[in-house]
Amino acid sequence: MTLSKLIDNHNAFSGHLAHPDGFYGQVISHYADMTFEAVNQWTINLMALQAGDSVLEIGFGSGRAIQAMAAIPGIGSVVGIDNSALMVQQAATLNERAIAEGKVRLLEADVRQLPDFGQKFDKIAAMNTSMYWPADQMESILAALRSRLKPGGALFISFQRLFERYERGEQAPEIMGYAKALQRAGYVSVDGTVQTIADKQAAIAEGRFICIAVHGVNPAFALS
């Protein structure tokens, strides 16, 4: 049985993906680093971060995407929240220098109760984490994230088709529902895109590295 099947069928694994802790949290963290590196980099490229941009990542895991964004020349500030103390510790170790330089700030916090960051952001990213947000709180979470965006800022939600129920197409309504939820939460210019990390046909054949991203521009300041 593949690990994706185990994760698909056992709540213990999916639970530790949502909130890594203890031994299983260490295992899942290592697996996520290997599995999600490509989709994380694809998302960062899609965000087209510019010099001076401030960015917030929701659920940064071991902090590799934080590290990659902090390495962009001239980047402004990179802030991340994660609900796992284990991941905050790992990410702080990985990004120790950037934190010391004041470029990176990591907080243990839950997306359902966003802290006061003392700033707003040009870009907000949720990479492989939005599937764990409570469905009945999705719109309120998206609205809260929108309130943390600067004028013209954008939210990027991306995830990789890891679970077999996604690959079978059973979650298609949920995937399509992101755009509707974004619109109900007040976003405009909502776009969806499906991308492959490597060769398209090979990726489809293998059922891996298929990514779906949805992003919307903050309408409170930029209507288009």
What's the whole-number mean pLDDT along residues 40-55?
Answer: 89
Let me know if residue 6 belongs to a domain. Answer: no
Residue type, 105: R
The SS3 call for residue 59 is coil
Q: Is residue 209 part of a domain?
A: yes
pLDDT exceeds cutoff 70 at 118: yes
Q: List the 104-108 sheet strands across, edge first.
A: 104-108, 77-82, 54-58, 121-127, 149-160, 210-217, 188-196
**Cβ atoms < 10 Å from Cβ of 33:** 15
Q: What is the pLDDT of residue 17?
A: 55
- For range 80-89, the mean pLDDT: 92
Confidence check: pLDDT of 123 > 80: yes
pLDDT score of 152:
82
Answer yes or no: is 3 within a domain.
Answer: no
Give the Cβ contact number of residue 213 at 10 Å: 22
Print the domain residue range for 157.
Answer: 36-217
CA angle 14, 195, 201 (to 5 degrees): 100
pTM: 0.76
Report yes or no on 222 lying in a domain.
no
Q: What is the pLDDT of residue 187?
A: 81
The answer to whether position 5 is within a domain reads no
Percent of the chain scoring above 90 in pLDDT: 38
Predicted pLDDT of residue 206: 45
CATH number for the domain harbouring residue 179: 3.40.50.150
- Report d(CA 91, CA 100) in Å as an integer: 13
- Whether the pLDDT of residue 219 is over 50: the answer is no
DSSP bridge partners of 106: 80
Q: Residue 153 domain-assigned?
A: yes
How far apart, in whole angstroms, are the C-alpha atoms of residue 106 and residue 91? 8
Residue 224 in domain: no
Q: What is the rounded CA–CA span in Å between residue 58 and residue 207?
A: 26
pLDDT tens digits for range 174-210: 556 777 788 888 887 766 665 544 444 444 444 443 4
Residue 46 one-letter amino acid: L
For residue 77, pLDDT beyond 70: yes
Q: Domain total for the chain?
A: 1
User: Residue 128: pLDDT band by 50, 70, 90 thresholds?
Assistant: confident
Does residue 23 lie in a domain region?
no
